[in-house]
Amino acid sequence: MSKDEFLTVNKPSESMYVVKKSKFIANVVPIKNNNEAEKHLEQFRKKYWDATHNVYAYVLGLNDEIQKFSDDGEPSGTAGRPVLEVVKSKEVKNVLVVVTRYFGGILLGAGGLVRAYSESASIGLKNSNIIRRIKSNAYEITTDYSMLGRLQWEMNEKNIIIKDIDYTEKVTMTVYVPESYNLDLEQFILNITSGNSVVKCIGNYYINQSDS
């Protein structure tokens, strides 16, 4: 995958998986930092205070700079590590996965636990909708109303993402151009509008591919 993009989850999810009467509840949450991860962990521990185990794993950073996991009392290597490995195998970043277990009275064995926690984490990630985020330059474009239709058409042809349009005395829109396009947007817009536009770069962000 390009260094200008990464995968993450789009929304929190809760999923249930049952093995030999043991219930495994996977909660998946997008996170931005350690503090967010710890806050969510505390909330899940309170919510599932009566559970047998609250196992978790999370990954932060585009290069997985921060990786943490906990077996929470399960045999070492059978719970938190498998959950972490699922997250890493999916190449998902900035995500917390908490798998809560309610013991059903039947022992699963080490291999059974690894499979159960791995499967629960996989189901949870799938239900959280894995999305691609792309590094993009943001621009503010101001132009006359007479240019709006053509500008929109030309930018759609280039797969430029138009997010906001403000209709005042003139039209002002915010657009995002993935860095990988190597497009000189200012020159592109000025050519279309014969110089009758103002183009200003306002930042650099990661945006959802689904926004396009």
Alpha-carbon distance values, 191 to 149, 168, 177, 196 (Å): 15, 23, 17, 9
Domains defined for the chain, CATH in brackets: 5-128 (3.30.230.30), 134-211 (3.30.70.240)
Residue 164 confidence (pLDDT) above 70: yes
Report residue 68: phi and psi, to 5°: -135, 150
Structure confidence by residue, pLDDT tens digits, 32-43: 999 999 999 999
Neighbours of 83 (CB within 10 A): 28
20 conformational bin, left if phi > 0, alpha if psi -120 to 50, beta if neither: left
Provide the pLDDT for residue 150. Answer: 92
pLDDT band at residue 155 under the 50/70/90 scheme: very high
Q: Which two tokens stand for residue 155?
A: 């930018």
Q: Mean pLDDT over all residues of the chain?
A: 92
Residue 1 confidence (pLDDT) above 70: no
Strand 53-60 to 130-143 pairing: unpaired
- Cβ neighbors of 200 (< 8 A, separation 6 or more) are 139, 140, 141
Mean pLDDT for 155-169 is 90
Alpha-carbon distance values, 183 to 80, 109, 137, 202 (Å): 44, 56, 10, 16
- Helices H / strands E in the chain, number of each: 5, 10
HSE on the CB side for 206, CA within 13 Å?
16
Provide the pLDDT for residue 206. Answer: 87
Q: What is the DSSP letter of 172?
A: E
Provide the pLDDT for residue 209. Answer: 72
